[in-house]
Amino acid sequence: MIERPNFVRATLLERIDFCPQVAVFRFKSDTQLEFTPGQYATIGMEDGEKFIQRPYSLVSSPHETIVELYVDLVPEGLFTPRLWDLKPNDSLYLKSKVIGTFVLQEKTGMKNHIMASTVTGVGPSISIARTQKRDLESGKIKAADAHNLLVLHGGSCSWELGIYKDEMTELAKEGWLTYVPTISRPWEDPEWVGETGRAEELIRKYADGLSCNHTNAVGYACGHPQMIENAKGIFSRMRLPKEQIKEEKYFVVKPTPKPITTTT
């Protein structure tokens, strides 16, 4: 690998497949990254004479030495098929500066955070939850100062949620986290016994149950653009002002071309 300004090398340690199109990638970076939970890193690879790069939210906490990414394969894409071709000990580029504003909104003094996500969009929420757990264990923050996190994690089927479903379910025993996994295609997952429906459809049920409202909560939506728009509408109907609604779209939905009509 040639040296590139503002990038460091990251070596693939392992990939864990949840299903053919969803996986976790864990890398060891040559340099420890400094970032705020919820931010994203840019990774890059050489493609012939081209250098291609994409941003990905970090699942890992800044306390961890491993860089962890939760990725959805886009078979016709330029980047993710190459990512899937990597083998353990293969390397890619990792931008040394991590950026992004989809972080815990703390300046408002509000302690309740409603986080709706689709599949890999739960990454920032996991990073935030892992970090709060570490900060509580180390004494950096007191239990009375912990933030209350409501994480709604949606997928088509349960296997897309992978190991994170178990991790977050276990972490929810801490008391400050409410984790709600849900699937939208229960007919394809007949053994599922949890919530069904899309993540945003559960916002009011669980937010109301936890007494979250416009006076004490911040709303977050991350992942599929349509889910985000739906969630923003729900947050607005809860009377959350714009400054208390945060979003992170993972891709842009291209508009469907209008059919050409002719007259005779």
Residue 179, both tokens: 């984790």
CA distances from 182 to 61, 119, 158, 189, 199 (A): 24, 10, 8, 11, 7
Determine the pLDDT at residue 109.
Answer: 81
Residue 126 near residue 69, CB atoms below 8 Å? no
- Cα 141 to the center of its chain, rounded Å: 24
DSSP SS3 for 232: helix
Per DSSP (E only), the strands in the chain are 7-19, 22-29, 40-47, 50-57, 66-72, 91-95, 112-118, 148-155, 177-183, 195-196, 217-223, 245-249
Burial profile 42-72: b = 16 or more Cβ within 10 angstroms, e = fewer? bbbbeeeeeeeebebbbbbbbebeebbbbbb
pLDDT, tens digit, for every residue of 178-198? 999 999 999 999 999 999 999
Predicted confidence at residue 252, as pLDDT, reads 57
Q: Which residues pair with 195 in a beta bridge?
A: 182
- Distance CA(257)–CA(72), nearest Å, equals 26
DSSP per-residue letters across 129-167: HHHHHHHHHHTSS-GGGPPEEEEEEEESSGGGGHHHHHH
CA pair distance 14, 5, nearest whole angstrom: 26
As annotated, the residues of the chain forming the CATH 2.40.30.10 domain(s) are: 7-95
- Reading the chain (264 residues) residue by residue, the pLDDT tens digits are 788 889 999 999 999 999 999 999 999 998 889 999 999 999 999 988 899 999 999 999 999 999 999 999 999 999 999 999 999 999 999 999 999 999 998 877 889 999 999 999 999 999 999 999 999 999 999 999 999 999 999 999 999 999 999 999 999 999 999 999 999 999 999 999 999 999 999 999 999 999 999 999 999 999 999 999 999 999 999 999 999 999 998 765 555 455 555 544
Nearest to 19 by CA among 229, 152, 142, 165: 165
With H, G, I as helix, E, B as strand and everything else as coil, classify residue 93. strand
Q: Are 221 and 117 in contact (CB under 8 A)?
A: yes
- Residue spans of beta strands (DSSP E) within 48-183: 50-57, 66-72, 91-95, 112-118, 148-155, 177-183
CA distance to 129, 161, 168, 178, per residue, from 174 (Å): 11, 20, 10, 9
In which residue are the tokens 């229960």 written? 186
111 by Cβ neighbours in 10 Å (0-12 / 13-18 / 19+) ranks as: middle
Say which CATH topology domain 112-249 has. Rossmann fold (3.40.50)
Please choose, from the candidates 121, 122, 104, the residue with its C-alpha nearest in 3D space to the C-alpha of residue 113. 104
Give the pLDDT of residue 249.
84
Per-residue model confidence (pLDDT) at position 2: 82
In CATH terms, the superfamily for domain 7-95 is: Translation factors (2.40.30.10)
Q: Can you give the pLDDT at residue 264?
A: 44
Domain with CATH 3.40.50.80 in the chain: 112-249
